[in-house]
Amino acid sequence: MSKRVATRPTWTMVSSIGAALGALVMMTGAQAQTAAAAPEMTPAEVEAGKKIYFERCAGCHGVLRKGATGKNLEPHWSKKAPDGSTQEGGTLKLGTARLEKIIGLGTEGGMVNYDDILTKEEINLMARYIQRTPDVPPEFSLKDMEASWKLLVPVAERPKSQQNKINLKNVFAITLRDAGKLALVDGDTKAIWKILDTGYAVHISRLSASGRYVYTVGRDGLVTLIDLWFAEPKTVATVKLGADARSVDTSKFKGFEDKYLIGGTYWPPQFSIMDGETLKPMKIVSTRGNTVDGDYHPEPRVASIVSSMIKPEWVVNVKETGQIMLVDYSDIKNLRTTTIESAKFLHDGGWDASKRYFLVAANASHKIAAVDTKTGKLAALVDTKKIPHPGRGANFMHPKFGPVWATGHLGDAVVTLISTPSDKAAHGKFKQYNWKVVEELKMPGAGNLFVKTHPKSSNLWADLPMNPERENAESVYVFDMKDLSKPPKKLDVAKDSGLPQTKALRRATHPEYNQAGDEVWISLWGGKTDQSAIVVYDDKTLKLKKVITDPAIVTPTGKFNVYNTQHDIY
């Protein structure tokens, strides 16, 4: 059986759980009593549980297990229902046998089945582990960041001009998740240019405003700065942001190109500002505080971050509190922040076609929040189907409703189209639809992670990697935007790859266009011991064009075309 459990260590957990919890979570007598009833585990089993939980579970359920995209996994919880009654639950109430079924088979809410990822023994171990009191990692200060910072190649020792003949605009930065590496692939020749070490499970790659530097951030909090101007790409600096991170972006406003980098962490809940060319730590800002409902939250994690091109600002989305922060980087010493209330459980999102409005999924609230970055105010809260997960989303002109932005869903079998405003006079006739769900495109199931299109394309691509059915998880679906009444065309990516079928799924995920907008690259994400691939299709004919596979292509997930990422084209 294939296992996708990385061997790289993630954090050093505090040995005294009680002392750390005392600083963060007040435990009631009832909770302490139920915690004592947790199944027994050996010290070795506890350590194994910590590692698997961090790598597989914490992203959705949180370090403190209070839930966000995923359910609350505390041993015991209680909350007030709308009718005033008290609801109680917890992993202890569910018990080991029930938890094993949930972990193994997944849920309709978007949780993937782990019976082809973890062994039967590991599933049992995790069912017991999550009935224990959550472990809490240590805090991470500016001094900790400074101690982790490594400037490998000073700016003065870097090339003054590009020292290779690669078309950098069409290079793809591809996450090799469980290998802790990044593959840089020449989009013109389809050849692997260079594979570099990064943090574990890189979540995103971002480009500097100039297109010279690639920044990656891993789930172990490590940021790498890669210079594409060398004869072969080279990592020139690294820094650690904390124990768990998801997002970085650069300063893009005119006059600030490549000057700063911001990184957001899941643990500790904070964001950090660094020098854009060296990663030298400059400032840390905590995001702990009250939710939009007025309740204090000890773990409000920083989810997506994007950089505005119309102001010297970053848009920072704080997951658990539902607060969207507009961070003005024109004066780092005297940092000014505008905080906008939206909806809880903010996750990922992207710009509309005008680059004025940022749309972000408040996924466990089943809403899309739209921010007008020109006025610094919330433009809309749009209700959607369950658990929207847009990635960056997709922008196109709908034949009936004008400019729209699309998101898929982890928890429902639709792609949602939302009308977005436009300053173009010719688009005034569509104003009546703005910030409304104008259409829902039918998908064969829930479990979508990413939708994607391109200004030069008439296709809308959608994946289903989190669907429990093999035929869906291993395929992508392509809508014809000229006639959205037609069902999408199914492309069996696993079959097209030519790789032999395995018991474990190879999940087809993250469609990404090349610079020209005439190819779409799909990650075929297999197990760590199974061969994976990047499968390239012709966007016009939907015919297979190339399969990029190699023993070094291990668990590929996100792919980021340099030009499209640099200019926020999706």
- What is the SS3 string spanning 481-538? CCCCCCCCEEEEHHHHHCCCCCCCCCEEEEEEECCCCCEEEEEEECCCCCCCEEEEEE
**What confidence score (pLDDT) does residue 95 get?**
92
Say what percent of the chain tops pLDDT 90. 80
Contact 421, 434 (CB under 8 A): yes
Cis amide bond preceding 9, omega within 30: no
pLDDT band at 330 (very low <50, low <70, confident <90, very high): very high
Q: What is the C-alpha to C-alpha distance for residues 265 and 455, in angstroms, rounded to an integer?
A: 32
Q: Is pLDDT above 70 for 4?
A: no
Can you tell me the mean pLDDT for 249-266?
97
User: Residue 416: what pLDDT?
Assistant: 98
Q: Which amino acid is located at 243 in the chain?
A: A
Q: Which of 76, 297, 347, 510 is catalytic?
A: 347
508-565 pLDDT, tens digit per residue, is 999 999 999 999 999 999 988 889 999 999 999 999 999 999 999 999 999 999 999 9
Cα–Cα distance measured from residue 107 to residue 101, given in angstroms and rounded to the nearest whole number: 10
How far apart are alpha carbons 343 and 363 in whole angstroms?
9
Average pLDDT, integer, range 363-388: 97
- How far, in Å, CA of 360 to CA of 317, rounded? 8
Rounded CA separation 58/42 (Å): 21
Instruction: Give the whole-angstrom CA distance, residue 472 versus residue 123.
Output: 24
Rounded Cα distance, 128 and 126, in Å: 5
Bridge partners of 75? none
Q: What is the mean pLDDT of residues 329-351?
A: 97
pLDDT higher than 50, residue 27? no
Catalytic residue among 111, 145, 466, 481: 111
Please check whether residue 491 is in contact with residue 542, taking contact to mean a CB–CB distance below 8 angstroms: yes
Q: What is the pTM of this model?
A: 0.85
Asked whether residue 18 carries a pLDDT value surpassing 50, the answer given is no
* Residues 6+ positions from 56 with CB-CB distance below 8 Å: 5, 114, 117, 118
Distance CA 551, CA 291 (A): 46
Q: What CA–CA distance (Å, rounded) separates 314 from 306?
A: 6
Does the active-site annotation cover 41? no
Per-residue pLDDT tens for 309-320? Answer: 999 999 999 999
Report d(CA 412, CA 448) in Å as an integer: 8
- Say whether 454 is catalytic: no
Average pLDDT taken over every residue of the chain: 91
Chain-centroid distance, C-alpha 197: 20
Q: Is the pLDDT of residue 22 over 60?
A: no
20: three-class secondary structure by DSSP: helix
The percent helix, strand, coil of the chain (3-state, each to 5) is: 20, 35, 45
The label of the residue with tokens 């469980």 reads 178
**pLDDT tens-digit map of 395-450:** 999 999 999 999 999 999 999 999 999 988 778 899 999 999 999 999 999 999 99
What is the C-alpha to C-alpha distance for residues 332 and 318, in angstroms, rounded to an integer? 20
pLDDT of residue 507: 96
Q: 109 pLDDT band (50/70/90 cuts)?
A: low
Mean pLDDT of 481-500: 97
- Whose structure tokens read 């007040």? 26
Catalytic residue among 76, 297, 389, 510: 389
Residue 5 has pLDDT above 70, yes or no: no
Catalytic residue status for 60: yes
Q: Would you say 248 and 215 are in contact if contact means Cβ atoms under 8 Å apart?
A: yes
Among the ranges given (303-312, 419-428, 486-495), the one the predictor scored with the smallest mean pLDDT: 419-428
To the query of whether residue 57 is one of the catalytic residues in this protein, the response is: yes
Q: Which residue is catalytic, options 60, 126, 466, 481? A: 60
Could you tell me which of 300, 230, 232 has the C-alpha nearest to residue 267?
Answer: 300
Q: What is the model's pLDDT at position 265?
A: 96
pLDDT at 234: 98
Q: How far is the CA of 328 from the CAs of 285, 313, 333, in angstroms? A: 13, 4, 11
Does residue 366 carry a catalytic annotation?
A: no
| For the chain, counts of helices (H) and of strands (E) | 10, 37
